Amino acid sequence: MDFVIEPVRKTVKSFMNRVAKDLDKLSGGKITPNFVTITGLLAHIPIAWLVATQEYMLAAVLLIIFGLFDTLDGALARQQKRESNAGMLLDASTDRFKEVLLYTGAAYSFIGTEFQYFAVWAVAACGASLSVSYVKAKGETAIAKSKLKTTEVNRKFQDGFLRFEVRMSLFVIGLIFNILPFIILVIAILSAYTAIDRLIKISKKI
């Protein structure tokens, strides 16, 4: 899957680097990376509500726009030379909050419909997605006490089908094509697989 993801990631990163440079210039450095991160998180509240009320297309458009904020804050941090561990912690934490909001909205949207039992899968998808990040976080802690090189750690942590950006891309596809229940099922299953796969690979290296 990397052969598909990496070219897209590089293209988006290059574009957002230019946006960050222009934004920093226009704002005179007053717009900070943390501001972008928090704004992106807050925007997911109405997006989750749109998902809950089955306004899927509008939710998809906004999710694409504000999903780019997840790349913009990092690009802006590099532009302003404000990269920090605190910033990375905030970014990672807000990503998890975003997922909770979106899966909650999805679960609510299924209630009272022919797909109401998929609400359970939305809960499962949320839990499995958070598990992917939990394994990464705990793995980093364990690796810090081992002799594994940082570059190898990063490569191992990137392994797996459903990293964050892939899950969000699938979510958008589900909204656009009105197949969210089935996308949620896929996310739940493949996220669980990704978490287990990462756990096994990291455990073998510690």
Tell me the C-alpha distance between 61 and 68, whole Å.
11
pLDDT of residue 150: 55
**Cβ atoms of 109 and 60 closer than 8 Å:** no
Tens digit of each residue's pLDDT (9 = 90 or more) over 29-67: 999 999 999 999 999 999 999 999 999 999 999 999 999
The single-letter code of the amino acid at 161 is: F
In the predicted structure, residue 131 carries a pLDDT above the cut 90? yes
Confidence at residue 161, expressed as pLDDT on a 0 to 100 scale: 75
Check whether 153 has a pLDDT greater than 70: no
Name the pLDDT band for 136 (thresholds 50, 70, 90): confident
- Classify residue 29 by its DSSP letter: T
pLDDT band with cut points at 50, 70 and 90 for residue 121: very high
Quick check: 21 and 65 in contact, CB under 8 A?
no
pLDDT for 6 equals 77
Domain extent listing, the chain? 2-205
- For 2-205, CATH number out of 1.20.120.1760, 3.20.20.70, 2.60.120.620, 1.10.1060.10 equals 1.20.120.1760
Give the pLDDT band of residue 202 (cuts 50, 70, 90): confident
Burial class (CB in 10 A: 0-12, 13-18, 19+), 73: buried
Residue 44 CA to residue 169 CA, distance in Å, equals 15
Residue 159 scores a pLDDT above 60: no
